């Protein structure tokens, strides 16, 4: 008798036609998601909701794209989180975190434990879950998403210390939460006797410390190497920095440390170490971060089944109320009071604890690990994230003003990049005085640059300074010329003429 096999749907062959279709769909999705950012800014809603909606529109209830693999979602979700955390570290200024690092570290560890405990008790009482599953639910829901917070606070700047706490917390709390969810899911399988709580705490502390050490080592070693390599291209520097950040994650996870903490710490070090082409590196990291967020949220929307979501609505509302009004405020109170954070700032920190992609991704872990009877968890977390983002996000600007934590003056670092310069109608030129250039010896006032153009900085022998009208140019000087778009061509023409003709070119006047 011939052996029988289960009938498995054939996997479609990978062809050029399939590649073309996939590229077209992917490009359209990214373009629509980018356009949705404008809607996010005007409506005050985090872009994650729009991306989730885009995924639902593509899924089984919309265009019919079928995607139901929790394992692939977890793998791609982890990959996206690596890039998001790398971007978070690379674009964070250490000056904004210096005073917020200690309270944020306590909030992202002790605060997580408090939140897990409160939500676990509520899950046990309200949903009648076993303690192991109840603790797992609490751990999945304990991670916050500052990207969602700042997407609705761009128009209303808040107190720098509070902004720093939210930003650092989001970068650091993913690591302990992931460790906790994986450990609890392993316990909930029931394959072996549960480990003692102090053993879990000790293991988590060890993995966090090891991950932080790996991140510091990769960050400082990478910054040292990049400063000495002096790569000639900003594109190469950007690729090198991202590769270092990803390597930090991989190395940390390989040695059984926290890879997520390693990548964030490495990014934080590299982003503040003064590596070459820093502005280009930040821009490239932000592009990858946006792409990772778009892909992740659309993927999660595809995985969700709208036909099942209503079944978890009441449970999601109940746990969401506990999380918003009890678990988060209690975790903030316990961790922020020793740092003498005023109650108004504590209240805002409590309300600003938005949930985002991380809880939804972590909701797939119990299924992939093999915890029986937890298929409903993804739907519950998905509904909770959507509903309470709709509740909290639009009210954050109002809460900031009401609680007195909003600042009237929004002070931000401005990177020199094309978009802001185009909005200002300005351009920047870098000019080098060559060895044979007749610009040598001319004073700045003699250049008679057209109106709207000015030399704002000179770099000479590795030192930079702001020139005066009487500053004489020297060979190998590097000039930073800021000019309006209308005056750029005339400024270039004038400098070329002076470089070739020297003072003889002074007789020709630039156009007004």
Who contacts 22 (Cβ-Cβ below 8 Å, separation ≥6)? Answer: none
Tokens of 438: 């007749």
Domain boundary assignment for the chain:
19-402, 423-507
Q: In what order do the strands lie in the sheet with 478-484?
A: 426-432, 478-484, 453-460, 463-465
Please tell me the predicted confidence (pLDDT) of residue 3. 46
CATH fold, domain 423-507, is Alpha-Beta Plaits (3.30.70)
Proportion of the chain above pLDDT 90, given as a percent? 27
Instruction: Please report the pLDDT score of residue 495 as a whole number.
Output: 85
CA 324/CA 399 separation, integer angstroms: 14
pLDDT at position 164 over 70:
yes
Confidence of residue 192 (pLDDT cuts 50, 70, 90): low
Closest CA to 372 of 132, 143, 139: 132
Mean pLDDT, rounded, of the chain = 83
pLDDT digits 0-9 by tens, 352-377: 888 888 888 888 888 888 888 888 99
Q: Which CATH architecture has domain 19-402?
A: Up-down Bundle (1.20)
Tens-place pLDDT, residues 4-51: 444 445 556 778 887 888 889 889 888 888 888 777 766 666 777 888
Higher per-residue pLDDT: 403 or 14? 403
**Percent of the chain at pLDDT exceeding 70:** 87
Contacts 24+ apart (CB under 8 A), 36-42: 40/151, 41/154, 41/155
pLDDT exceeds 70 at position 262: yes
At residue 155, the pLDDT reads: 59
**pLDDT tens-digit profile of 196-230?**
667 777 888 888 899 999 999 999 999 999 988 87
Q: Which has more confidence, 172 or 320?
A: 320
pLDDT score of 124? 93
Q: Which residue has the higher pLDDT, 470 or 147?
A: 470
Cβ(397)–Cβ(156) under 8 Å?
yes
Neighbour tally for 32: CB within 10 Å: 15
**pLDDT category of residue 315 using cuts at 50, 70 and 90:** very high
Sign of CA dihedral 492, 484, 287, 22: negative
Question: Quick check: helix, strand or coil at residue 455?
Answer: strand
Residue 465 has pLDDT above 90, yes or no: yes
Upper half-sphere CA count for residue 338 (Cβ side, 13 Å): 10
How high is the pLDDT of residue 511?
45
The most confident of the ranges 108-122, 147-161, 356-370 is: 108-122
Phi and psi angles of residue 458, each rounded to the nearest 5 degrees, phi first: -125, 130
Please name the residues in contact with 318: beta carbons below 8 A apart, sequence gap of 6 or more: 122, 126, 127
């Amino acid at each position: 008798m011939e052996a029988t096999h289960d009938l498995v749907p054939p996997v479609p062959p990978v062809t050029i036609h399939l590649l073309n279709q996939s590229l077209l769909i992917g490009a359209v999705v990214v373009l629509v998601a980018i356009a949705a950012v404008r809607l996010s800014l005007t409506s005050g809603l985090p872009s994650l909701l729009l991306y989730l909606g885009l995924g639902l529109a593509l899924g089984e209830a919309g265009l019919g794209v079928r995607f139901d693999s929790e394992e692939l979602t977890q793998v791609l979700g982890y990959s996206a989180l690596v890039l998001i955390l790398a971007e978070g570290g690379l674009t964070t200024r250490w000056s904004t975190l210096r005073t917020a690092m200690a309270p944020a570290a306590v909030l992202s560890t002790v605060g997580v434990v408090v939140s897990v405990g409160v939500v676990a008790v509520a899950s046990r009482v309200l949903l009648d879950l076993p303690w192991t599953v109840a603790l797992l639910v609490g751990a999945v829901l304990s991670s916050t998403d500052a990207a969602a917070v700042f997407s609705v606070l761009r128009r209303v700047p808040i107190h720098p210390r509070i902004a720093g706490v939210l930003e650092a917390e989001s970068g650091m709390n993913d690591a302990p939460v992931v460790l906790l969810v994986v450990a609890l899911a392993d316990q909930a399988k029931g394959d072996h006797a549960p480990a003692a709580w102090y053993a879990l705490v000790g293991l988590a502390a060890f993995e966090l410390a090891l991950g932080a050490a790996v991140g510091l080592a990769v960050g400082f070693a990478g910054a040292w190497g990049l400063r000495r390599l002096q790569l000639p291209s900003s594109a190469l520097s950007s690729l090198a920095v991202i590769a270092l950040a990803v390597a930090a994650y991989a190395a940390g996870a390989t040695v059984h440390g926290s890879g997520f903490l390693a990548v964030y710490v490495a990014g934080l070090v590299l982003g503040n170490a003064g590596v070459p082409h820093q502005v280009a590196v930040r821009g490239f990291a932000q592009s990858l971060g946006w792409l990772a967020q778009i892909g992740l949220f659309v993927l999660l929307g595809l995985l969700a089944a709208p036909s099942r979501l209503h079944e978890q609505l009441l449970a999601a509302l109940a746990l969401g109320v506990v999380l918003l009004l009890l678990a988060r405020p209690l975790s903030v109170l316990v961790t922020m009071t020793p740092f003498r954070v005023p109650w108004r700032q504590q209240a805002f920190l409590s309300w600003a604890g938005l949930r985002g992609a991380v809880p939804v991704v972590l909701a797939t872990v119990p299924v992939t690990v093999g915890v029986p009877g937890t298929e409903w968890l993804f739907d519950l977390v998905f509904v909770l994230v959507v509903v309470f983002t709709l509740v909290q996000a639009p009210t954050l600007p109002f809460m900031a003003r009401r609680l007195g934590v909003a600042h009237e003056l929004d002070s931000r670092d401005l990177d020199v990049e094309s978009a802001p310069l185009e909005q200002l109608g300005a351009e920047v030129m870098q000019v080098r005085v060559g060895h044979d250039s007749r610009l040598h010896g001319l004073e700045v006032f003699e250049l008679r640059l057209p109106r709207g153009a000015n030399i704002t900085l000179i770099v000479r022998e590795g030192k930079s300074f702001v020139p005066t009208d009487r500053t004489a140019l020297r060979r190998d000087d590097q000039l930073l010329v800021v000019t309006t778009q209308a005056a750029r061509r005339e400024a270039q023409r004038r400098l070329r003429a002076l470089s070739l003709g020297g003072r003889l070119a002074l007789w020709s006047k630039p156009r007004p």
